[in-house]
Amino acid sequence: MKAMPTVRARRIVPAGDAALAQAKAALAAGQVVAIPTETVYGLAADATDGEAVARIFESKHRPSFNPLICHVSDIAMAETFADFDPLSRRLAEAFWPGALTLVLPLKPGHAIHPLVTAGLDTVAVRAPKGFGADLIAALGRPLAAPSANRSGRLSPTTARAVDDSLGDAVPLIVDGGPTQVGLESTIVMVADGKARLLRPGGIAAEAIEAVTGVPLARADANAAIRAPGMLASHYAPNARMRLNAGSVAPDEALLGFGPQRIAGADKAKAVLVLSRTGDLAEAAANLFDHMARLDASGARCIAVEPIPAHGLGEAINDRLARAAAPRETS
Ligand code: TXA
Ligand code: MG
């Protein structure tokens, strides 16, 4: 018998009540959804759900785990996981909802998954306008969302551009028409009471200076801040890291992957397995947590079993290689 043609659910849905309900259900089920914001389209997932966040990187074919922006409905939601200094609060009050992202310290006990922040102790936060804001309020949880393009491509400003860039990797795209701003948000971080521009974007530096009353320091003055993936404050374990290990010594901790353990695992100082079934999304979701816990075991070295190089494995290996790199160069 000939197979029936499969009827695919419509992937691009116009912004509105039906799309809101569909997007909310998908996000609550741990899926990614492409949504319009006033800057560019974002590829969103529940920021408290590690496997969902891992799917963002997977869908974008992102070869490394860059920290993502956490989108909130308002300042009150941001305050559940981040601390506002007085100047950051003034900026949020002036520009939210809108194209300003603030980098803030995380609160102890916060629920943001470490994959969102790439293990940093700060988080980038903004309150978007429009459909995104309604969706976050309906879900009641923050959404992690980078621009909804395949890694290395242009940020999309239409639903069609998202579709062209990400193809079938995204089960649901909400179409809110062309984005108003068309440029990513401006990223600002306040340190020692001074605002610093980390990324120019949809809100002009002059508009920010009009609120702060002083010139905005440029990240160019400090190259380390321009590339957050390279920040010294990026989580690096105290223990040495030994990648692609074929065996583990009794004074080492073991970071495992897959169903089989390498020789010596039964005598290792501590053992945690990223995914026993070899699921790379589960492994990505566990990566930062497991590295931190093995480090806390006090082992002098963390031996890491080989991780496949395909799919999310590329980003996992990238992160492990950074953690294993000599510290002086961070
Ligand atoms: O307009 C936008 O900002 C769009 C929409 C979807 O909201 N989003 C966006 O996200 O452009 P993405 O992932 O493409 O860019 C996020 C930027 C990256 O440059 C990242 O390094 C920076 O935010 N970032 C995230 N967390 C950070 C942190 N804790 N410290 C410094 N920079 C951070
Ligand atoms: Mg981007």
What does the block give as tokens for 118?
A: 């790439």
The verdict on the CB of residue 116 being under 6 Å from ligand 1 is: no
- Look up the pTM and report it: 0.85
The verdict on the CB of residue 157 being under 6 Å from ligand 1 is: no
Q: How far apart are CA 207 and CA 32, in angstroms?
A: 33
Per-10-residue mean pLDDT, the chain, length 330: 52 96 97 96 97 96 90 98 98 98 97 94 96 97 96 88 90 94 91 91 89 84 44 65 97 98 98 96 86 91 95 85 67
Say what the pLDDT of residue 329 is. 39
Nearest ligand, measured from the Cα of 183? 1
Say what the pLDDT of residue 220 is. 55
Find the 177 Cα to ligand 1 centroid distance in Å: 22
Atom of ligand 1 nearest to the CA of 184: 1
Strands 122-126, 100-105: pairing is antiparallel
Nearest ligand, measured from the Cα of 65? 1
C-alpha closest to that of 164 among 154, 176, 24: 154
Find the 292 Cα to ligand 2 centroid distance in Å: 27
What does the block give as tokens for 201?
A: 């974007």
Q: Could you give phi then psi for residue 214, rounded to 5 degrees?
A: -135, 155
